[in-house]
Chain A
Amino acid sequence: MSRTVIPFGPQHPVLPEPIHLDLVLEDEKVVEAIPRIGYVHRGLELLVQKKDFKQYVFVAERICGICSFMHGMGYCCAIENIMDIKVPERADFLRTLWSELSRMHSHMLWLGLWADAFGFESLFMHSWRLREKILDIFEQTTGGRVIFSVCEIGGVKKDIDAETLKNISSKIDEIKKDALEFSKVFYKDKTVAVRTVDVGILTKEQAFALGAVGPMARGSGLSQDLRSTGYAAYGQVDFEPIFETDGDCYARTAVRIREFFQSADIIKQCIGKMPEGEIRQKVTGKPNGEYFMRLEQPRGEVLYYAKANGTDFLDRVRVRTPTFANIPAMLETLKNSQLADVPLLILTIDPCISCTER
């Protein structure tokens, strides 16, 4: 059968960010997808040679507008390990709390976009309405809705008082109740199932071989979650990595919905166990050495590499973001898919292109 190549992206209604795919089609069936990225490269890694190591925290946060807190935190943790700084326990708990709030709002954002991609407009609006409440908690505690600027080398800049913590706890309960109601639509609605069940299957072996991370890997039955390594305060809260075994879009949706509720639970645990004390440790001296830091972001594992030379300016920072790691898995799911499913299959990895290109 003759083949046609159609360009998909970089501008496409379903893509919030630019990625280009050349889709090789046989009739309506995709036989191959060839990706091209590089439309929003900002050179943020190189900036580390121009901004001093404390200023760079603000740059690291701007790598991504959704997991901005965890980017800042990943960089700070790497530098803290190089400099041998012990972060106060309360700061670790606050970092965990903000990380999980980020996960909640990121998953809610994705669920909304996901609903929008299969044409369920009102579900999209309800998801984003709920996400707004989480952003309000962020604004109340950090002063920012997207970029938080609270993480710093040696701890966090802002504390949350007991009253506000109680307040957050009850807000989380409300959000959970609301989310429970319409998350059932993703699970049970027939129109959703038609678009997601058995679409874009990635087997466990494929997920492993292609180095999939995050919900993409966990939806295929790989139970890997970096939070189990116990960085920040994760060692002190109870949780089990969530995974599903079907490997289709439905399974990945289920992983994210279940993780949303798990994050709410971790936040409640953090509030309950939050120790009193300092939130920041004074940083003296300059970093010298190198370190790899691995964190679990909403989209999967992020890897921060920092190399310092004893001056104010680092030699190198390298960030391997989860979307970058998930692109091979996405290409695999695109093979033999229908053209109409391509937008869904791109969205299923929860792509963040600005992260990927930095």
Chain B
Amino acid sequence: MAEPLIQVKNLVKYFPIYGGVLLKEIGRVHAVDGVSFEINKQTTLGLVGESGCGKTTVGRCTLRLIEPTSGEIYYNGENILKFKGAQLNKFRCKAQIVFQNPHASLNPRMKIKDILSEPIRIHKLLPKNEIENRVLQLISEVALEPSHLVRYPHEFSGGQKQRIVIARALALNPEFIVLDEPTSALDVSVQAQILNLLMDLQRKFKLTYLFITHNLNICRHISDEIAVMYVGKIVERAGADELFEEPLHPYTQALLSANPIPDPEAKRSKIILTGEVPSPINPPSGCRFHPRCPKRMDVCDKSEPSYIQVKPGHYVACYLYSNNKS
């Protein structure tokens, strides 16, 4: 039976915007505006969407790196927003994050062995005499050499740095890792190495991933389930294959059709949307996709469609699929 490790309910995160001479709050960025999802143990949920739609904010809230405005986040059935002290500390070991830019994630003045042992020392996970062995083991997990341990980050390529970041995330024996565009800064051949490594590690250490990306091909390759975000909302979620074969939401359909296919003989029918992704400061009324939706109806700009399950495991927020059109 699939068992959820992560359950997010109605997550909301607003960022205040300050302006004027007195720097008063003059508005809010609706970065995440009522998002719900689960991630089953040892599976990968892919979170896709265009720039600024709120993916990173969802990832950071899920780890409580930033405090949500409202909502609930359960880890193994416990609400992490209520965690304090030792319990929060323990959660911080179990849940890790890997960012897009490996160059910025590593302290340039620390040797690799110190970068890898630091989290173990801070969380007092192992006695001093065992740390060295653990570090040697970590570096081999990500297919780097023991001789690399005495070097500094600038001596490594982007792909090698990302391996070091992944090794550091593994240092505390995590169960859950948020991967925020982990390969976007890398070349294709290096990207493939990192994706293979992540899949191997998931199997070996029974990891659960939230994989954030704007690249649909990568998303389908690595994910069991996929959630599509648009301006602070999840508009559709389904199993990876089902989402690609039978996308229901008009935005998902447009996004998939826009995806360049690396096969000159593939059949293509592009849905070309007009306009661009709206700002999350003043999101459109009703369905946020209505100004660009080729299938919009009268009701669409009046009230928001609810996010409902239309088939087992397939959720969508669009009036085309809800009976309740009032």
Q: Does B bind A? A: no
Q: Which residues of B contact A (CB under 8 A)?
A: none
